[in-house]
Amino acid sequence: MKGGFPGNTDGMAASKDGTEETKAWERRGTDLFEFRKKAEKGAGPAVSVQTRPAGPRAALPLGAGERELYRALRRAVPVIDAAIYKLRRLIGEFRVECPDPQAQKELEEFLAGVQVNAAGAGVHEFLGIYLEELITYGSAVGEMVLSGGQVAALYNAGLQNLELEEDGALGVKVSVLGREGRRACPYPELLLVSALNPEAGSPWGVSLLRGLPGVSDVLLKIYHTLGVNWERMGNVRFAVTCRADGSGGAEERARQMAEEWKAAMGSREPRDFIAVGDVAIQAIGANGQVMESEAPVRQMLEQIVAKLGLPPFLLGLSWSSTERMSSQQADVLTSELEAYRRVLAPVARKICGTWLALAGYSTECRVVWDEITMQDEVDHANARYLTARAKKLEREMEESGARPAG
């Protein structure tokens, strides 16, 4: 049983007019229809979620400690958590185009209203969680859940209960770790598996957060030390010194003075402290200086921002930047989002192709992403305008007998 990465087969679907994608779905169309017949004959209303264990797992999957570290990192460092959520929102949405108008209409209704996990709806909700898992852990697993021979829900499988292993040169096998031990998923054709920047020969992807635990540890130590110092120096402690004058009764005088000082400091109203003799009052730690933290904190944040690939101003970091630099950062961000879209596109095509095949339609469809920002649309429109204007000038020069330079 092979459940290869969507990109290994569906990635070929980006060829002309979806020809390769159609051929790929025709090759496995028979299996899908056989699976649909089995599901329709089943006693239950839906096929149970195969990537969910029946009970507590008996063992931990490979990489469980590393993934728990990344999860704790997101909880401890707000800027990392915020960056991942922003990437999820900035990825945008897509629409589908099918040759059959009726198939396209029904497919759009399915994508907009399909149930996602227990309380979500819509394919964009599913892909958002899928992308979040992909960025955080480097790998993501999803599942199409059938009911009555049709895709009825999408489920984001938690990696804490799954084991991925190679299944041949181009396949990946997904197993579930539960109370009964390890079992392979019986319907790999319904699984969606993706890896982010995988290493050669490995089914696991590489987390975007790899390399950040050490930097984040230094940053958290600085923040913790700042908190301790401000608690110590902000909540001022005083040293009251009473020098003996040789008249005796020093112990009793010290006790009375301590009671008066405590009453003065604990009073809600302004209150004077009156003492007799040589008394000195000094704030404890008044001569100490808090270490400068702006430079080291910025150095650590620069490393984190460089790894996450987001411009600093999107994370609320007001570092000095000119308009030109901000424009360049926006271009870099656009390329980063396009890269994530290339990973998600095969997943979206597989969902659409499976639904179309089970509904009896041709599996030919195209996924078209929206422009990332309105500025992109303006830039593309300006580029088309300048190209058309240049072609017009060339025609006019040719008609007048002159030739353009070069």
Q: What is the pLDDT of residues 219-256, one digit of tens each?
A: 888 888 888 777 776 667 777 777 766 666 667 777 77
Q: Please report which helix (H) or strand (E) contains residue 26, including its range.
A: helix 19-41
Q: Which amino acid is at 209?
A: L
User: What's the sign of the alpha-carbon dihedral 148, 152, 158, 164?
Assistant: positive
| Cα atoms in the 13 Å half-sphere on the side-chain side of 241 | 7
| Token pair belonging to 119 | 């309380």
How much is the pLDDT for 198? 87
Q: Is the CB of residue 257 less than 8 Å from the CB of residue 218?
A: no
State the pairing for strand pair 162-166/366-369: unpaired
How much is the pLDDT for 139? 92
How much is the pLDDT for 88? 92
SS3 percent helix, strand, coil of the chain, rounded to 5, is: 55, 15, 30
Helices in 147-290 by DSSP H: which ranges? 212-234, 250-266
Low-confidence residues of the chain: pLDDT under 70: 1-48, 53-62, 233-235, 244-250, 276, 284-290, 320-327, 373-380, 402-406
Question: E strands of 47-135, at which residues?
Answer: 94-97, 115-116, 120-121
Q: Please report which helix (H) or strand (E) contains residue 177, including its range.
A: strand 172-178
How much is the pLDDT for 85? 93
How much is the pLDDT for 349? 94
Tell me how crowded residue 267 is: count the other CB atoms within 10 A of its CB.
9
How far is residue 163's CA from residue 170's CA, in Å, rounded to a whole number? 17
- Residue 336 burial (10 A CB sphere; 0-12, 13-18, 19+): middle
| Token pair belonging to 336 | 């980063």
User: What's the sign of the alpha-carbon dihedral 70, 71, 76, 79?
Assistant: positive
CA distances from 185 to 63, 161, 206 (A): 20, 12, 23
